[in-house]
Structure 1
Amino acid sequence: MFHAPIDKTALCALIPHAGDMCLLDAVLAWDAASIRCRSTSHRAPDNPLRRADGTLGAAHLLEYAAQAAAIHGGLLAAADGAPPRRGYLVATRRLQLPATPLNSLPGALEIDAQRLFAGDGGWVYAFTVAHADTPLASGQFTIAHLAEDTAA
């Protein structure tokens, strides 16, 4: 069962990223196993990830996907009445990125993340990022929970 969309204010409250560093604009749909988000922040001239020359590299798509996973974790925790778990992105696998700078893409990005594994120590997600219904990036990543969050 998919839940209702969530706006930027509500989704930013679920992650520690503040201000412009909260890169996603909306949660379009989510359920216990996956989340779909949208973002247009790659076009913003004041995007905090832009290089000095104004470009936004494709490797930053991993940050977009990781934020989607963090929001997913926050939504699942809230649904269970628990506080969100903090964590760090510690590994990537099968990472495929485009050669095109993100700031040259005119439309919104759609970020899909699917949780493949969830345990006390962390999560594993697979993700895809698309632009205009064309896949741009994909891969898997592991998020490890901080030790104090797993202590009983």
Structure 2
Amino acid sequence: MGEDLKVAIRAKLTELFPEVTIYEEDLPEGYQKPAFLVTTTNAVAGRGLGGRKAFQLSFDISYYSNLAGRINTDCYQKGLALLEGFRLTGYRLKGKKSAAAEGILHFTFETQFTVTEEISEIKMKQKELSTNMKED
């Protein structure tokens, strides 16, 4: 679920910031800065129209700067760049926000998408039709 979306997020971050390492869901021990950490913060599944499944996913893209003495400025600039340039083809991003706390930038957003369920073919039972008619 959402693997295409995660691939699109990684591709867009790489396009905007090719020099920044990207991690998903967890930072490894001894991670390299500057770095982005892409985390799914919330997932909601529901029913859509026509046998589809509807999903709403929330993401937090955290940015860890490597510029000692200029961390807040770096976070502010990355946040503005994400607010202006972070768009994903085929997905509508809602509620984009950028905020820095304790030297870490948090860029958050939500997206919704639907997936068509595979419906097994329902076969109709054959019913015999009586064609014996009485003639008067």
When normalised by structure 2's length, the TM-score is: 0.30
Which is greater in Rg? 2
Could you state the TM-score of these two structures normalised by the residue count of structure 1? 0.28
